[in-house]
Structure 1
Amino acid sequence: MEVHPLDPSSDQPPYEQLRRQIASRASSGGDLAPGTRLPTVRGLAAELGLAVNTVAKSYRALEHDGVIVTRGRGGTFVASAPEAGSADAEQAAAAYAATARRLGLGLDDATRLLERSW
């Protein structure tokens, strides 16, 4: 797996840039397929010139979100679809839809609000 360089002039901290990059590339249509093995924390830190703790923080956040799974000494991998936090996303979507309907919003209005917040 090749990691794209991070932007040192970005307002986002490096751990967030890395987290976003991996999450985006692992989402449907991204170039990180489920089961793709990720570099070790130390290896990726050396490759990107980051502190080990910075990469570890990104990996922890990604694992918490269900984007990646760590299998001990076996390594860290992009999660398969069932492991990828889809249940949490479905629950959030259902809650938003219920609230939007309760407020009298139609699908177009609710979608516009979501897009604006995105």
Structure 2
Amino acid sequence: MIKVDVTSPSPPYEQIRAQLAELIRCGVLNVGTRLPPVRQLAADLGLAVGTVARAYRELERAGYVSGKRGGGTRVLPQPEPQMTRADLIEQHARAYLTEVARLGGSAEEAVEAVQAAAHADPA
């Protein structure tokens, strides 16, 4: 479910946070779903416990999850997004840039690829 690219310029905790946030936004992780315990996910990913704990703290701070000692970390209901068209485009652009970075590419390469695609197939 979660993959961390150690060669990515994005820190591992941010990669975990971004992937879990996207899974929550897309409805793959439903309200009330319990996330894996910090220690388990850290072991599964071969990362330090503190790295996963930071990702979970960031998700909690952003309102995606609620964590209780001994009760686990669970997905919270998300408010209906009041996003503008520009917000949606920016959200997709960020997801694309994250994926390009995961593949080892740069933002410049991502822009070039979008421009090439736009010229090849104007939508």
Between the aligned partners of 2:28 and 2:63, the Cα distance in structure 1 is: 17
1:21 and 2:19 correspond: yes
Query: Bigger shift: 17-26 or 30-39?
Result: 30-39
Higher RCO (C-alpha under 8 Å, 6+ residues apart): 2
- TM-score, normalising length: structure 1: 0.66
Q: How does 1:1-118 map to 2 (within 5 A)?
A: 3-27=1-25, 29-81=26-78, 86=79, 111-112=85-86, 115=89, 118=93
Alignment length (residue pairs): 92
CA 1:111–1:41: 2 relative to 1, 3 Å:
same
Equivalent residue of 2:6, what SS?
A: coil
Between the aligned partners of 1:66 and 1:113, the Cα distance in structure 2 is: 18
- TM-score, normalising length: structure 2: 0.64
- Report the aligned-residue RMSD: 2.4
Percent identity over the alignment?
43
